Amino acid sequence: MKRISLLVSLTMLFIACSGGAKRSDAITLDAGIERKIDSVMAGMTLEEKVGQMTQLALDVIGEGGNVYYSHEPFRINHAMLDTVIGTYKVGSILNTSNNRARTTEVWEEIVRTIQQRALQEIGIPVLYGIDSNHGTTYTAGGTLFPQAIGMAATFNVELMEEGSRISAYETRASNIPWTFNPTMDLGRDARWPRQWESYGEDAYLNARMAVASVKGFQGSDRNRVGSHSVAACVKHYMGYGVPVSGKDRTPATISESDLREKYFEPFRASIVEGGALSLMANSGIVNGVSTHADYRLLTEWVKEDLNFDGVIVSDWADVQNLLSRDRIAASYKEAVKMGINAGIDLVMEPYNTAFCPTLVQLVNEGAVSMNRINDAVRRVLRLKYRLGLFEKPYWSALEYPDFGCAESEAIAKAAADESITLLKNDEGILPLPGNARILVAGSNAHSMRTLNGGWSYSWQGEKVEEFAQDYNTIYEALQKKFGADNVRYEPGVTYKMDGSYDEENEPEISRAVAAARSVDYIVLCLGENSYCETPGNLDELTLSENQTRLALALQETGKPVILVLNEGRPRLIREIEPGAQAVLQLYLPGNFGGDALADILAGDVNPSGKLPYTYPKYEQGLITYDHKPSQNIDGRMEGAYDYGAQTSVQYPFGYGLSYTTFRYDNLTVSQKEFAPGELLTVTVEVTNSGTVAGKETVMLFSSDLVASLSPDVRRLRAFQKVMLEPGETKTVTMPLPANDLAFVNAQGRWTLEEGEFMLQVGTQVETIRCKETKVWDTPSR
């Protein structure tokens, strides 16, 4: 894989964006593909075109049961396949059957059977899609990486791209050319049950990780996606991750400036810079408008403003939900009209074949134009051509000998190593001595399910133990690292694995306390069981009462407690954190999380993860690092109304300790005064001032000191991860386009105002000044 330095890659992007041209103009169509599409569409009936806009779930064509589940072992019901392909001309299938991972051999048989029937019927291959969310979610034996929140904690875009490249290869090995990933919803509310699927709270970090992931999935040529690559689908456009209630698929309220400046930016970057070939719409409601019916966001902002030539796909049954949930349509027919006219090209209507005749009727009545149909079908066919499906609609799994190979697993282990974040290490208690006697306790101490989380062999992750038996839980990994005789296991609290994710068995805290008497250290593993989407909603962000009681009881033994957090979102720990000598955040590290933690506890790996979100301390104190000055007043006001808005957090965004120390010196900026459109260069010296080799993420923050809209207190503008030997110094160079300092004003326009900005890297601070104001007339700056 080519590794281009941050300076070179961003400088090239800056050059491409300069001169007043919109970067989206660089997205070009392949004339040869367009001619082929013209030829195919010329011979298609309206029913065949509508079929290309339809996506059904695999279980619809499975034998036995009903459309919601199939008999095992899975076999295709050929009569139903004839109905789906022959009658309705369906052009896309998604998902696995019975919510279960399949082998590459089974996938090969499934896809080959579907494709042969489609080619026989209309000569157009089916587009198969799947959620490969941290590896091959639904393929047994594949490589599973840390979930997205853990990958964000690495702050390593090269590792992100490589992980997506491996995931793409293994998804293709499953005969599937399209993944519904990456997830780019900003995770700015700790209550949200899909926090762990995001790259955290920051727009810039999300954008950089998303671009790297898209490139890893798709390769370098978006018009000719290679046989080892897949099409990416960036989701869920947009604002899905900040529902007012904190609960999944409930409404969000977002200011117009934040919508453009923060929530839109990762999607813009993934399309314009990454070349993403498809986009999935938000299931929810933003500012009172259902996104699946939002012409402005879907058609104007994406298709028109970005010249997006890919496919916009609905989320699961969300056109139907315009009727049944959002109640903005009086009938299913009206819901279909709304979704299609808003800009949805491919409707994920998983079980409902009524979509096809409904849309045909709408076209015949003139409620949906043939131009809209032809545009959607062209986009779907374009994606199929770009994926090479007309030339090779299915293939042999034997063509992918590196599926689940040791080299890929080594990358997954490295990602887990770099994701784990050391949050506390009082008196340097870590790393532990090699002869340490350890009690491993807690609900997450001996579970592969909790290490992986949702989207792991099944939707909710409840089948992980069946498929991940060859990997090590935390307890097993510590046994292998420190010796079986030195490591005891007494959980004290366990999950009710056949219940909901938050159900626990009757605790046995006294057993864990008794076991602590004969050890030197307690590794206490707490957090969450696996969940995904709406089933993961919660009413209380604090750790469970049983887990809290266990922690306090073990702390009272006087033995040093190393608190290990294995959780999809940051659960509140303020009651138990003071009594822990060390705290590590594992997030959801995947199948190699236990091994990675063992290496860090033993000192064989130096932790380098950084928090990609602000870890809250109080449920009523949820805040992000880029908040407004009024949310963080120092001191108090004078006079009768003596109030402040100081918000206390457990740990700040970007925080993470190491077994070594780093010193920052000599921050310089290429020019102290600048104009819009110019490129600044920021350099800083970073020294490993400790005694252990380590990796440090160098982060560049900016603060707009005065602005016409109250500015964010700080914003991340660049980062770079470097490896330093003890005593080694490196000069880190980061480009800073002046236009990146702009904000979106109250009229929705990008604005860079005259005035001062403070730049900060580590402990180093520098002030620069913009010489003039510029307001952009275009949606992109």
Question: Which residues are designated catalytic?
Answer: 315
Residue 355 in contact with residue 336, Cβ under 8 Å? yes
Of 411, 455, 456, the C-alpha closest to 163 is: 411
Q: What distance in Å separates the CA atoms of residue 712 and residue 729, rounded to the nearest whole number?
A: 32
Amino acid at 240: Y
Q: Which of 702, 693, 761 is nearest to 722 (CA)?
A: 693
Residue 56, C-beta contacts closer than 8 angstroms, at least 6 positions apart? 84, 90, 92, 93, 94, 349, 350, 351, 353
Secondary structure of residue 243 in the 3-state scheme? coil
On the 0-12 / 13-18 / 19+ scale of CB atoms within 10 A, 365 is: exposed
663-697 in b/e burial notation, b at 16+ Cβ within 10 A? ebeebebeeeebebbbbbebebbbbbebeeebbbb
The alpha carbon of residue 724 and the mean position of all alpha carbons in its chain are separated, in whole angstroms, by: 29
Residues of 521-544 as b/e, b for ≥16 C-beta within 10 angstroms? bbbbbbbbbbbbbeebbbeebbbb
Residue keyed to tokens 């498929």:
467
The DSSP annotation for 52-121 comes to: HTEEEEGGGGBSSSBTTB--SS--B-HHHHIIIIIIT---EEES-STT--B-HHHHHHHHHHHHHHHHHH
Give, in degrees to the nearest 5, the angle at Cα 630 between 254 and 542. Answer: 70
Q: Is 76:113 a contact under the CB 8 Å cutoff?
A: yes
| Tokens representing residue 96 in the block | 């696995």
Structural contact between residues 242 and 254, judged by C-beta atoms closer than 8 angstroms: yes
Distance of CA 90 to the CA centre of its chain: 29
User: Among 707, 569, 742, which residue's Cα sits nearest to residue 201?
Assistant: 569
Longest dimension (CA), the chain: 82
Q: Smallest Cα–Cα separation from 174: which of 105, 240, 241, 125?
A: 105
Residue 396 in tokens: 């042999």
DSSP character at residue 298: I
Question: Backbone dihedral region of 112: left (phi > 0), alpha (psi from -120 to 50 degrees) or beta?
Answer: alpha
User: Which residues pair with residue 290 across a beta bridge?
Assistant: 285
Task: Give yes or no for a contact between 717 and 738, defined as CB atoms under 8 angstroms apart.
Answer: no
